[in-house]
Amino acid sequence: MPNKRPSTTTPDQRGEGDELHQGVKRGERMTTATGTPLGDGQNSLKVGDRGPTLLEDFAFRDKMFHFDHERIPERVVHARGYSAHGTLECLDAIPDLTRAAPFQSRGKKTEAFVRFSTVAGNMGSPDLARDVRGFAVKMYTEEGNWDLVGNNIPVFFIQDATKFPDLVHAVKEEQDRGWPQAASAHDTFWDFVSLMPESTHMLLWAMSDRAIPRSFRFMEGFGVHTYRFVNADGDDTFVKFHWKPRQGMQSVVWNEALKINGADPDFHRRDLYAAIDSGDLPQWDLGVQVFDEAFADEFDFDVLDATKIIPEEVLPVRVIARLTLDRVVDNMFAENEQVAFGTHNVIPGIDFSNDPLLQGRNFSYLDTQLKRLGSTNFTQLPVNAPRCPVRHFQRDGHMQTDPQIGRGNYEPNSLTGDDRGPRADVVQGYQSVMRQESGPTRRLRAASFADHYSQARQFFLSQTEVEQGHIVDAFSFELAKVEDPRIRTRMLANLRNVHEDLAQRVADKLAMPLPEAAEAAVPTRTDLPESPALSILLNGPESFAGRKLGVLVTNGSDKAVVKAVASAFEGAGAVVEYVAPAIGPVKLRGGGTLTPDHAIDGGPSVLFDAVALLPSADGASDLAGRASAQDFVSDAFAHHKLVGLGADAGALLAAAGVEPDEGFLDLASADDADVFVTRCASLRFWDRDVRA
């Protein structure tokens, strides 16, 4: 039962009906951590009216002691996170492939807890940094907790876990200056990756729009590594895990990300919370790529290499379950911060491959929890505690809460009752896949891991022209922040092994000559087919559902048009929010008032997926002189957004210097609203000529 610590008052602050005695009711009593009721929660114990505080004030010491120690070390990586509760429902039972409990019968539901995060920034960093996003799922099954600890990108920067400390040191703030925070655009990161050709494939993903998602709800997730499924007979197959958002993928453009961070650094957090709170529950399909040893041997790349993917066109993803997030956390510290994930947390039916990065993560995650949470008993914290019975002979330790009764605390013993206490179950218990390993012990990298550029090229060519342009811009922006020209030259030399056009376009933007291509251990293959599944724009939503429309209104806005737009978009499953010159009520032409959600100075267009400009003529003229209103329009234009244009918005467009194009749709009357919401399903008007 949670501790109840309601607010209290001093005797002098009590109002009528607030006394503790004479039968007058009051709320629950505030106590110390040990349960002693407090008579005064506002003042420490002093000598006289103005004397020193007494050491015997146990209530003060109890409160201050806890306050002094209420922070725990933040995660070294993935510190900036946000979580929610949910359920995994089996859609396709696969007992022939795995005995894993969640997949034994169609319709079976498993409690889940999900944490999304950025990698490089600290807890106070902004949400829209260009970064990999963590996508970690804890499933509380009847046979223990299974953690699928992945990212929103299916590959990683390194192939062997021994390089992970070097990668993190490089991407974190530089140790001699303490900056930049939550950014990879600096020398140490690019110095490291330019010297590590194996990072190239991941760099293409990180410089793509995948690294600046519009929402946690609109991004994919991946298990990254190759795991094993094991069925009840002990037969095993390889498996790779995919989370596919039910509402389609969506990202933002870089300039938009920068401005969102300024307007609302909690943008992703707020979006997830609001969606769940409003009942627009985020959902992902869990899919698997299942394959055997024969496929692994014939596949063009090593399936144990975490810098490679198996394209969906080569091996389709089979959907087996659906994840629904339906409850926000009750307490950020108790759940979001104290949750402890680990790739080693598996259940019967799930096993590991020999992926060297996965093998290292299996060690690292458990080790780091002791540092963060202070005790080997962190599994007893509610967010980490299994929902199934836990029986073992592990004993004592800091913060032990299990009574651990009985005489025998070892195994085997004959003193813990008729059943002699818990014992291993050779039939139902976890059994590792039996496999034969041989060969000399050596520190080496397998030759099958040596092709660092072919899939990077495939990824680049699989993007639309718009997305390719964003990748070029991202490389150019990041490398322009690098102070040492040798690093930029090395990186361009590596990019020549990916694609000549990519390298040349980046070099042109940097005003640098194109260096000779770096020597490649394996020549880049040019025969890999394009994979449409790798493009965000080719896998976008089918409608505007789950997105947000910002409607700019003023006194005198046409009530019929405003109402029609709201009805059309809300009917399509979208959220409608109003922006006005001030936060006070707006009087509409046609009668009635409207209470805006944002004042124009605090509600920029970057917060919305599309906008509608519905001011009155006088309102447009007034807004035309305000920089924030001009930015509202010019940013929507620059970010390729669809814009609904009211009949009286001309003065504001002129002030913003915007000439309407085909991405502007007339909202001159209520009948135009349905056309507008249908067009908004495309999210952007990429044909717009936006000058950088």
Residues recognised as catalytic? 78, 151
Can you list the positions of beta strands (E) in 333-402? 350-352
Among residues 641, 642, 580, 592, which one has the least CA distance to residue 616?
A: 580
Contact status, residue 690 vs residue 659, Cβ threshold 8 Å: no
**Distance between CA 25 and CA 640 in Å, rounded?**
60
Residue 563 CB contacts under 8 Å (≥ 6 apart), including other chains:
670
Evaluate whether 629 touches 619 at the Cβ level (below 8 Å).
no
Cα dist. 526→44, 202, 208, 529 in Å?
75, 18, 21, 8
φ, ψ for residue 564, nearest 5 deg: -65, -40
Distant-in-sequence, close-in-space partners of 308: CB < 8 Å, separation ≥ 6: 155, 201, 301, 302, 455
H or E segment to which residue 109 belongs:
strand 109-118
Q: What b/e readout covers 147-178, taking b as 16+ CB neighbours within 10 angstroms?
A: bbbbbbbbbbbbbbbebbeebeebbbbeeeee
DSSP assignments along 552-595, one per residue? E--TT-BHHHHHHHHHHHHHTT-EEEEEESSSS-EEPBTS-EE-
Cβ-proximal residues to 201 (8 Å cutoff; 6+ apart), any chain: 155, 307, 308, 452, 453, 455, 456, 459
CA distances from 104 to 96, 238, 282, 321, 352 (A): 9, 18, 24, 11, 20
Pull the structure tokens for residue 143. 């046979």
164 membership: H or E segment, kind and range: helix 164-171
- Gap between the Cα atoms of 197 and 491, Å rounded: 9
Phi-psi region of 546 (alpha: psi -120 to 50; beta: other; left: phi over 0): left
